[in-house]
Amino acid sequence: MKDYIAKLREKIGQDKFIHPAARIIIENELGEILFIERNDNGKIGLPAGGLEEGETIRECIIREVKEETGLILLDASVIGIITDPRKETVTYPNGDVVQYFTIEFYSNQWSGEVAVEDTDEIRSAKFMPASFLEQLMPNEKSIIKSLEMYRCGEGLHLD
């Protein structure tokens, strides 16, 4: 994605653009959630990232999970589609602005061991109690409602 985004940024500078993305809750058998610690702001988050040229959204989340956590997703369910520009617009520390169009996923099926591969973006990854979901950045918190609706069988959360 860095090459794709770099090409766009050469043309538009730091102006906002709309970018498809994926985010996922990965839950272990103890009900703990896999969180990452980001390098850019030091905050916890969920495995996530932007769609690259030539890949599907499913391929995107599989790639991002592998890069950020070392795990290989075996299955993932779509639980939400979040497009609200008030929630999904992010201004990065370098001034770049992105409005995400995010597909939210859930999985409890993976293989491998947690080990960060993309150390430029991610400091650490580990399973922690689900209560840490409340510490997510505002643009990531919609996944809490998406998970609740998914677990209740209410269908996709659209926001």
Mean pLDDT for the chain overall: 93
Query: With contact defined as beta carbons under 8 Å apart, do 29 and 77 qualify?
Result: no
Range of the domain at 110: 2-158
pLDDT at 1: 47
CATH number at residue 131: 3.90.79.10
Tallying the residues shown for the chain, one arrives at: 159
Model confidence over 35-92: pLDDT tens digits?
999 988 889 999 999 999 899 999 999 999 999 999 999 999 999 999 999 989 989 8
Give the pLDDT score at 2.
58
Residue 106 has pLDDT above 50, yes or no: yes
Q: Which of 121, 107, 109 is nearest to 45 (CA)?
A: 121
pTM given for the model = 0.91
User: 140-149 pLDDT, tens per residue?
Assistant: 999 999 999 9
Domain count, the chain: 1
pLDDT at 133 over 90: yes
Q: How far is CA 42 from the centre of its chain?
A: 15
- Please, which pLDDT band fits residue 7 given cuts at 50, 70 and 90? confident
